Every structure is written in structure tokens, then in C-alpha cells.
Amino acid sequence: MNERIEKNRSKSKNYLIYLIIVLMFVEILDTYTTNFPNVIPSKVIEDFLSDVPSNIGNSIFSISIAIASIGMYFVFFNQVLADKFGRKVLLATTVFGMGIFSLLLIFSTGIIQYTIYLFLLYLFFSSDIWVIYINEESPADKRGRFTNLVLVGGVTGSILLPVFRSIFITETSANWRGMPLFSVLLGIPLSIIIFFTLKETSKYEEYKNKGITIETSILKTNLKTIFSSERKREVFALIIITFLVGFNYIFVSLGEQYINSSPNLTEGDINIIVLVMSFAVILGYIFTGIFADKVGRKPLFYLYSVLFIISIFTVIFGSQLKELALIPVCVGAALANVSYWGIGVVIRLVIVEIIPTDARGTGSGLKSLISAFGITIGLLLNSLITYFFGLELSFIILSLLLLINIPLIYKYIKETKGIDLSQIK
């Protein structure tokens, strides 16, 4: 009997290691696919919108990204389907989608086609299915650590961004269409591996084995569960925080264009900035994982909300310097990305930790949907502000809105470090 138990434990441990490795590749793909459109806007604008003034080109491109971001709304339904059909099927589907629609993006010949294909790509990335996977398979005291282990391993995707950008985009050439190739070559085979080798999560199987019909708790019932739970005030607060963070996706999506427009920075400088940002995000994920498990989630909400604002001002100040502009812009852009993605990780963790198992996929999808709303509205506001005043003022105004997070965190967000997921009601 003891030998059988030990054997099962060994199998379980080996599978968990394999799962973490596979999810690392998923996160490599997700990170790269989510971010490669954000390091090429200046070249896309140059390719498709070079015949209009700079502020109008930036404004049109912002509208283009806003329209494409509507694709993110469908992430919510992906999460709902994860509660109905299981985590594995949806994970394989989203990975395949990232691969195939990156391929289509390569063949765009104008801003309209680019918008359509980017919209299709947005349907699948950042779905957070992998977060549910790792959280439902991890011990309670190691969820934050394992989540961030996947993130740190997967952030190889971030490192590949400056590598490929420096290959495809230089002082003498700007072949932005080479950037999606990696997503194509990784996404399609990885989806096949997931479908045929991963198991459904133990928590989801446990839920099904209780004899509860998951079909009866889709969408309406799940939403009712979420907003009638013991921690519904936290859910509402997290919705507002997520919405405000979404506003500031404008820096992630258009920061490269702003930096590129500075006369004090060369294309080589921009490749260095992208490289520094990538390594900073790795360090940020490591810090987030350790800090979240040892100290808690709540302090990180405060830290990243304030740090993002400081970072934006640092980038703006640095880009105006005629000498040594590279240093403050590197620091500011790196910290801005650490803050944006860091607070996103904390939101993901807390959402999973305050919502019951039967509605966890729906809750994660709701978070993604609210984030997408914030991104779309932020981009539309940015388009208007940029048209009249430029990108700079838009970055400042929308970043300052994160100050609203402070009282919300203080009053409504409770610490969730080490909570037992099976005890959430």
C-alpha cells in the first residue's frame, strides 16, 4: 500500500513538473504574441500611415488598436467555456489561435487588414486559462511561486522580442512582418502537444465527480455565484482596478512609437530599451512571486499603482534630454512594464483566490473582459487626446487615474496569501 502511495506521489510530482514545463512554453507564446505588436507600431505606422501628419497617424493607429482590442472581449466567453468543456480543450484552442492568426497578420497589406487580423489574434491571447491550470494543480502554499515560475520561464518570450526586433528592424531595414513568425512556429505544434498529453485539472475533475452538472452553472449562474459570494465587495473593487489598469495599456501599445519619435534616441537605442524592459519584466515577475507569497498580494497593489505613474513621468522627462536620454528612458520604460504586468499578475492571483471553483473560469474571464473594456476605452480616449495634444499628455492623464486604486485597495481588498481554494464559498 505504501509503495503504491509513493508511486502515485512520484507520478503526480513528475506530471506537475511536466505541466509546469508545458505551461512555460504556453507563457512564452502568450508573452511573445501579446507583446510583439507593441514593439512594431512605429514601423506599422510608417508602412501604412506615412502619408498623414504624425499626430493624425498616431490617432488613427490608436483607433485601429481600439477596434482590434474588441477581440479581447471574447476571452470572457473562452473562460466560460472552460467551465463547461474543461481547461484542457480551451488551452489547446487558444494556443492554436495565437499561432494561426499570427500567420494571417504577416500577410496584411493595409491598416484595415492589419486591424482585422490583429482583432482575430486578440481573440486568443491573454486568456489566463493557464493561470487556472497551475492554480488548480498547485499546493495552497506554492500557488504564487508556481504561477510566477511559469511566468519567469515563459518570459523567455520577452527576451526573444528584442532579439528578433534587432534582427528584423535595424537602422537600414524595417521588416516588421518577420516578428509574428515565432508565434506561428511555436503555437501550432504546441496546441497539438497540449491536446494529446495534458490531463484535465484535478480540481475540475473533482467538481465533475461530485455529480454537479456544470452545464447548469454557465454564465448566468456563475455570475450570480461570483457576485453573491462572501467577497463580492472585493470583486467589485478588483473590477474597477482592472478597468483603470486597462486604460494604461496605451503605454504598452504606443510607448514604442512615442520613444521612436524622440530625436534624442536612435533605432539601436530603442532595441536596447526593449531588451532592458524584457529583463526588467523577468526580475519583476521573480520579485512579484516571492513578495506575493512571503508578504502578501495587497502591498503589491499599492506599489505597482504608484510606481507606474512615476515611471511614465521618468520616460517623458528622459525623452526630452539631448544627452544621456537613453538611461532615464530605459529605467522609466522598464519600471512601467514591470508595474503594468506585475499588477496584472496580482489581479489574476487574487481573482482565482476569492472565487469558488465552479465559477473560477467565469471569474477569470470577467477580469479579462473588464480589462479589455478598459483597454478599448483608454485607446479611444488616447486617440482623442493625441489628435489635439499628443501622446505625452495622454500618457500623463491616464496614468494619474491609477491613484484611484489606493483608497479601493485600502478599504476593500483583503489579503489572500495561502488561502485554501477548496474552502472558498
**Single-letter amino acid, residue 264:** N
Residues spanned by the domain of 44 = 2-423
**CA proximity to 286, closest of 127, 147, 126, 415:** 147
Which pTM was predicted? 0.76
pLDDT band at residue 357 using 50, 70 and 90 as cut-offs: low
208 versus 388: which is more confidently predicted?
Answer: 388
> Do 382 and 250 meet the contact criterion of CB atoms below 8 Å apart?
yes
pLDDT band at residue 210 using 50, 70 and 90 as cut-offs: low
> Do 55 and 387 meet the contact criterion of CB atoms below 8 Å apart?
yes
Q: List 169's β-bridge partners, or say none.
A: 174
Confidence check: pLDDT of 6 > 50:
no
Instruction: List pLDDT tens digits, range 153-182.
Output: 777 888 898 899 989 987 666 789 999 999
User: C-alpha distances in angstroms, 17 versus 95, 129, 188, 199, 344?
Assistant: 20, 18, 22, 13, 25
Which cell goes with 260?
521612436
User: C-alpha distances in angstroms, 89 versus 62, 80, 152, 365?
Assistant: 33, 12, 24, 16
103-107, 311-315, 344-348, 413-417 — which is least confidently predicted?
A: 413-417
Q: How far apart are CA 367 and CA 344, in angstroms?
A: 10
Position 7 scores a pLDDT of 45
> Do 278 and 151 meet the contact criterion of CB atoms below 8 Å apart?
no
Instruction: List pLDDT tens digits, range 297-316.
Output: 888 999 999 999 999 999 99
Position 218 scores a pLDDT of 61
pLDDT band at residue 425 using 50, 70 and 90 as cut-offs: low
Position 191 scores a pLDDT of 94
Instruction: List pLDDT tens digits, range 24-37.
Output: 999 899 889 988 99
Which cell goes with 388?
489635439
Q: How far apart are CA 56 and CA 59, in angstroms?
A: 5
Instruction: List pLDDT tens digits, range 55-68.
Output: 899 999 999 999 99
φ/ψ of 174, rounded to 5, equals: -140, 70
- Looking from the CA of 359 toward its CB, the CA atoms found within 13 Å total 23
Instruction: List pLDDT tens digits, range 185-199.
Output: 999 999 999 999 988
Confidence check: pLDDT of 1 > 60:
no
The whole-number average pLDDT for the span 396-416 is: 89
- With cell 486617440, the residue in question is 383
**Single-letter amino acid, residue 226:** I
CATH number at residue 395: 1.20.1250.20
Confidence check: pLDDT of 244 > 50:
yes
Q: List 174's β-bridge partners, or say none.
A: 169
Position 118 scores a pLDDT of 94
Q: How far apart are CA 304 and CA 214, in angstroms?
A: 37
Confidence check: pLDDT of 236 > 80:
yes
Confidence check: pLDDT of 353 > 60:
yes
157 versus 2: which is more confidently predicted?
Answer: 157
pLDDT band at residue 261 using 50, 70 and 90 as cut-offs: confident
Q: What average pLDDT is seen over the chain?
A: 84
Angle at 364 between CA 362 and CA 367, to 5 degrees: 110
The whole-number average pLDDT for the span 324-329 is: 91
Position 216 scores a pLDDT of 44
Position 219 scores a pLDDT of 63
C-alpha Rg value of the chain to the nearest Å = 21
Q: Give the burial string for 125-158 (b: 16+ CB within 10 Å, else e).
A: bbbbbbbbbbbbbbeeeebbbbbbbbbbbbbbbb
User: C-alpha distances in angstroms, 44 versus 109, 110, 239, 342?
Assistant: 10, 9, 33, 28
Number of domains, the chain: 1
Position 283 scores a pLDDT of 81
Q: How far apart are CA 148 and CA 157, in angstroms?
A: 14
**Single-letter amino acid, residue 185:** L
421 versus 325: which is more confidently predicted?
Answer: 325
190-199, 226-235, 326-335, 336-345 — which is least confidently predicted?
A: 226-235
- How many beta carbons lie within 10 A of that of residue 96, not counting itself? 19
pLDDT band at residue 4 using 50, 70 and 90 as cut-offs: very low
Position 248 scores a pLDDT of 93
Q: Is 163 exposed, middle or buried (0-12, 13-18, 19+ CB in 10 A)?
A: middle
The whole-number average pLDDT for the span 208-215 is: 57
- With cell 489566463, the residue in question is 128
> Do 414 and 104 meet the contact criterion of CB atoms below 8 Å apart?
no
Instruction: List pLDDT tens digits, range 82-104.
Output: 777 778 888 898 999 999 999 99
pLDDT-above-70 percentage for the chain:
85
- How many beta carbons lie within 10 A of that of residue 227, not counting itself? 13
Confidence check: pLDDT of 206 > 50:
yes
